[in-house]
Structure 1
Amino acid sequence: MNSTRTAENPSPEDRKGKKPLLIGLVLAVILIGGGIWASPLVAPSARTGAEDATQAGAAPSSATQAPPQTAASQTNGVAPGTAATPAPSSTGESAAAAPTATGAKVKSEAELAATPQLVSAPVAITDPAALRPGVTADITKFESVTGTAAGPGEIAGPAIRFTVSVHNQSAKSVSLEGALINVEYGPNRTPALQLSGPGAARFPESVGAGATASAVFVFLLPMDQRGQVYIYLNYEVSSPIAAFAGSITTSEGKS
C-alpha cells in the first residue's frame, strides 16, 4: 500500500518534477505582465521615430514640388511671398494725356504747332470779326504811306498803314502777346511784306475786361494791288484766325 502512487499523495519524485514547471510559469507571468506594463512607455517614442523616419523619407520629394497657391495668389497671379502690385484705376489714364476737369484733352505746344489752324470765314474789311464770345476785332484808319526799310529784308516803297483794335467785352483779360497780322493781295493772294514804319505800334501784352487795345501795322502794297486785299488776325494758336477781305480805300497818311 505504501508503494502505491496516487494523485492525492504524489511521491517526492513527482513533487520535485513539478517545481521547475511552477517556477517557469511564474517567470512567464512576470515577463508578460512587465511587457504589458512597459508597452505604453515605449509606444510613443517608437511612433515618433517611425513618423520622423517617414517625414525624413518624404522630405526630398516635397522639396521638388511648388508650394500650393492660396486663393488670393491664384486670383491675382502673384507668387506667395511677393507684394501684389495694385491694379490700375478703372478711371485713370496716361499723364501724358490726362483729361481736364471738363473732360477735354489739353494739347501740348508741339501738338498745336502740328495742327493746321482754322481760318474763319472772311468778313468785309470794314466790319468787325468775332474772335471769341465777347471779344471782337476791327480794322480802321487805312492810310497810304511810303514805307521805310528799317529791319532785315525790308524794302522801302508804297505801303498801307492801318489800325487793328481788339474790343474785350468778356469778364476776363485776353492775352495779345502772340498776336500776329498777315496781309495778302491779288487773285494769287501774294503775301505782303511787313515794314517797321512809319508809325507802326505793337499790341500791349493783354487787353483787360471791358477794355480796347489797338496796334498799328505797315505793309508794303503796290497802289494797283489794293482792290483785292486779305488781312488775317491770329491772336492765339488755339483759336481760329480772323479774316477780313475787300478793297482798300486809303487816305494820304503822314510818313
Structure 2
Amino acid sequence: MFEIKNLTVAYQGELILDQVSLTVQKGKITGIIGPNGAGKSTLIKGALGLIKCQSGQTYIQGESLAKVRDQIAYVEQRSAVDLTFPINVLDLVLTGTYPKLGLFKSPGPLEKQAALEALAQVDLVDFKERQIGSLSGGQLQRVFVARAIVQDATVIILDEPFVGIDMSSEQKIMGILKKWSDVGKTIIVVNHDLNKVTQYFDDLVIIQRGIVAQGPVTETYQMANIQKAFSLDFGKLLFEQDMTGDSEDHG
C-alpha cells in the first residue's frame, strides 16, 4: 500500500495542492488523470520528496518514505531526461541496481546479467551499447522500464510514459505493468490519454488542484467527474464518443 497524507505544495505563492491524501492499493494499476496544470506530476514529485512541500508524508506499508525509498522505482517524464548525457543503454539499466548495492559498490556479473535479462524483456538487448540519445521515444521508455525491472521495487511510478511513443512499445510496457500487478506490486501511472483509461487501469485518481474522485475505474470514470476536472463540454464529448464507439463495436 502506498499512502500520501496531507500533501501541500505551492509554487511562487500559488497553492497547487492543499492537504491532499491518497491511498493506492498494491496489486493494482492505478491511473492518475487530470487536465494540464492540475497537479498530477506535482503530486508524484511532492510525495517522493523531489520538490519542496509545505506539508505531507508518504508511507509504504506503513513505513515512512525515508526508510523504504529503495522500494520505489520512479520513471520520470522523458522530456526531463538529458539525452546528451554520455551513457549507453546497458549502463543506464544498471543504475537500477544502485539502490540495493549501497555506497561505494559497483555492479558485478550478477547485476550485468540481470540488466541483460531486463533488456531482453523489453526487446532491446541488441541496443545495449547505444547511447541513449540515439533511441526513439518508445525505445527509451522501454529502457527506463528495464531499469525498473532490475531495481525490483515494490512500488513503480511512471509519469506520462506513453507520450510520443509507438503503439508496440506502449503495449510491451503495459504487458510488463500487468505482470507486476499480478505479483502484488503497486503500479501508478500518470496518464494523458483518457481513451485508454478503462483498458489500462484498475483504479483511477482524477485530479484538478486536488482530488476530484478516486477508486475503481468503474466507479470513478464517470461523466460528472470528468466534467468537474476538465469541463462540461469535454466530459460530454468524451462520453458521447465512448457510447458511439460501444454501439459501433456491438453493431
Q: TM-score range by the shorter chain?
A: under 0.3
Flag the structure with higher helix content: 2
- Bigger Rg, which one: 1
Q: When the two structures are superposed, what TM-score results if normalisation uses the length of structure 2? A: 0.20
